[in-house]
Amino acid sequence: MSGKSNHSSLNSKIEKLDMSMKELVVFFRSKCSVCGHQRIAHDEHGKCEGVMNKPCSSGCDSFILE
């Protein structure tokens, strides 16, 4: 996660998606019905890592859309 080149390649990937940035933001902000945290707090396997340096107390390991 360093350098501008990473960001610009990410941007170009996002531009290729059939999805706007707004839709992506809505997607990542959708809440988990297991622990109540946003999808963005969960890792790629669905495990919740908590927010603001606080670990998730529910032990959620699978994101389920509310």
- Contact positions toward Zn ion, by CB under 5 A? 32, 34-35, 37, 48, 56, 60
- What does the alpha-carbon distance between residue 27 and residue 54 come to, in Å, rounded to a whole number? 22
Burial of 17 (0-12, 13-18, 19+ CB in 10 A): exposed
Minimal distance in Å, beta carbon 29 to Zn ion? 13
DSSP 45: T
Minimal distance in Å, beta carbon 6 to Zn ion? 27
Dihedrals φ, ψ of 51, to 5°? -130, 155
Minimal distance in Å, beta carbon 36 to Zn ion? 7
- Whichever of 14 and 51 has its CB closer to Zn ion, that residue is 51
